[in-house]
Chain A
């Protein structure tokens, strides 16, 4: 059941990215271009997503456990803010601003097979793998 739920969630998430315009790097870059060709659409994506997720999460967390797992696996909301988080977020933002892709939209775009997408995803996967392997070695 967990696998089916995750499959449906992935499909709905992907359709949401496409319908919203997040899967189009041109739209993302124009959203980020506040001083130029500003397209505020993606603020509506955030509003729609958080508007549903905030009450939805609250309702789900009132349960003792999820449907297909004995426990929730959610990081504490008051975990400390450290330097790694801040630097990582800053670096991520630079990459996002260069190509207009963040991880979800990039993955959804893989079947469309634009060469830029394949190169981006390959590099992203390589960097995440390198990070994980370095961390595991420590």
Chain B
């Protein structure tokens, strides 16, 4: 487990950027800034609408760490699990889950709550609960695995 510092102002400012991005995307393209939906539009069986816009959004995301380092002179701080098997299991669960739920933290958690969608409110309440429960079981019941 890696200790992290409480960063209310940076987190609030980062949230403001995320919200502004979602408003910009809706204003220009008329679509919700849901990352899982955007990724899905780039994958087989293809044929989804506006794939170029989806690809451009993902390119923007991928450029962000470089832009961050150029702008601040700092590396992006993160601690990622060393366990590849854990990463794969988690990735499969996240992929299957967001496919079925048609949205993730961005599409349901931010955009859906912002427009008071009942589906999104229900989805967010559930994934927050199962995520917290998972961390509780891993850290306080099983006693923790050697990551983060």
The proximity string for B residues 77-117 relative to A, scoring 1 for CB distances below 8 Å and 0 otherwise, is 11111111011111111111111111011101111011111
Contact indicator B118/A49 (Cβ below 8 Å): no
Q: Which residue of A lies closest to B127 (CB)?
A: A93
The proximity string for A residues 65-96 relative to B, scoring 1 for CB distances below 8 Å and 0 otherwise, is 11111011111011111001111111111111
**In whole angstroms, how far apart are the Cα atoms of A82 and B124 in the complex?**
14
State the majority secondary structure of interface residues on B. Answer: helix
Contact indicator B64/A15 (Cβ below 8 Å): yes
CB-defined contacts of A15 to chain B, threshold 8 Å: 14, 17, 64, 67-68
State the majority secondary structure of interface residues on A. Answer: helix
Determine how close the nearest CB of chain B comes to the CB of A67; give it in whole angstroms. Answer: 5
Q: Which residue of B lies closest to A67 (CB)?
A: B28
Contact indicator A12/B21 (Cβ below 8 Å): yes
- How many residues in A have their beta carbons less than 8 Å from beta carbons of B? 119
Residue of A10, A69, A92 touching B60 (CB-CB under 8 A): A10
Using known A-B contacts A2-B28, A95-B90, determine if residue A17 contacts B18 with beta carbons closer than 8 Å.
yes
Contact indicator A19/B17 (Cβ below 8 Å): yes
**In whole angstroms, how far apart are the Cα atoms of A92 and B114 in the complex?**
20
The contact size tier of chain B is: 35 or more
CB-defined contacts of B22 to chain A, threshold 8 Å: 9, 13, 49, 52-53, 56-57
CB-defined contacts of B105 to chain A, threshold 8 Å: 96, 102-104
CB-defined contacts of B43 to chain A, threshold 8 Å: 125, 128-129, 132
**In whole angstroms, how far apart are the Cα atoms of A25 and B60 in the complex?**
21
Using known A-B contacts A48-B14, A49-B16, determine if residue A97 contacts B131 with beta carbons closer than 8 Å.
yes
Contact indicator B60/A9 (Cβ below 8 Å): yes
Which has the most chain B C-beta neighbours within 10 Å: A29, A37, A56, A73? A29
Residue of B53, B88, B136 touching A120 (CB-CB under 8 A): B88
Interface residues of B (CB under 8 A from A): 1-33, 35-36, 39-40, 43-45, 49-50, 52-54, 56-68, 76-84, 86-102, 104-106, 108-111, 113-119, 122-124, 126-136, 138-140, 148
| Closest 6 pairs between A and B when the two form their complex, measured CB to CB | A10-B60, A20-B14, A48-B15, A14-B64, A127-B95, A92-B97
Interface residues of A (CB under 8 A from B): 1-27, 29-30, 32-37, 39-42, 44-54, 56-57, 59-61, 63, 65-69, 71-75, 77-81, 84-104, 106-112, 114-117, 119-133, 136
